[in-house]
Amino acid sequence: MNRRELSIDDIESLAVGAWVLGTGGGGNPYLPLLNMRALYREGHCVQLMQAADLADDDLVAGAGGMGAPLVGIERMGDPYTLTRAVRAMETHIKRRFTALMSVEIGGGNGVRPLMAAALMNLPVVDSDPMGRAYPEGQMTSTAIGGLAPCPISLVDVRGLESIVHSTPNAKWTERVARKICIEYGSTASMCTPPRTGAEIKKWGIHGTTTKAIRIGETVRRAQRLHEDAVAAILAVEPGVLLFKGKVIDVARRVTEGYLRGVLGIDGLDEFRGVVMRIDFQNEWIVAYRDGEPLAMTPDLICVLDSVSGEAVGSETIRYGQRVTVIALPPPEIFLTPKGLEHVGPRAFGYDLDYRSVFSS
Site residues, other proteins (CB under 8 A): 31, 34-35, 38, 68, 70-71, 73-76, 78-80, 157-158, 185-186, 226, 249-251, 253-255, 305-308, 310, 312, 315-316, 318-322
Measure the CA–CA gap between 98 and 80, rounded to whole angstroms.
18
Closest separation in Å from C-beta 323 to other proteins: 8
Q: Are strands 127-128 and 99-102 parallel, antiparallel or unpaired?
A: unpaired
Q: Which is nearer to other proteins, 141 or 306 (CB)?
A: 306
**Are the CB atoms for 202 and 278 separated by under 8 Å?**
no
Closest separation in Å from C-beta 314 to other proteins: 12
Closest separation in Å from C-beta 157 to other proteins: 5
* DSSP per-residue codes, 320-337: T-EEEEEEEPPPGGGGSH
Q: Which is nearer to other proteins, 83 or 208 (CB)?
A: 83
**Are the CB atoms for 137 and 192 separated by under 8 Å?**
yes
Provide the sign of the torsion angle of the four alpha carbons 29, 30, 31, 34, taken in this order.
positive
Closest separation in Å from C-beta 355 to other proteins: 30
Angle at 305 between CA 302 and CA 311, to 5 degrees: 45
Contacts of 34 (CB under 8 A, 6+ apart): none
151: preceding bond cis by omega (within 30 degrees): yes
Q: Which is nearer to other proteins, 185 or 293 (CB)?
A: 185
Closest separation in Å from C-beta 263 to other proteins: 13
Q: Which is nearer to other proteins, 90 or 305 (CB)?
A: 305
Closest separation in Å from C-beta 59 to other proteins: 26
In the DSSP assignment, the letter for residue 139 is S
Closest separation in Å from C-beta 148 to other proteins: 31
Q: Which is nearer to other proteins, 31 or 190 (CB)?
A: 31
CB atoms within 10 A of CB 336: 11
Q: Which is nearer to other proteins, 198 or 251 (CB)?
A: 251
Give how far Cα 349 sits from Cα of 88, 281, 294, 308, 339, Å: 34, 11, 17, 33, 15
In the DSSP assignment, the letter for residue 204 is P
Measure the CA–CA gap between 348 and 46, rounded to whole angstroms.
36
Q: Which is nearer to other proteins, 12 or 299 (CB)?
A: 12
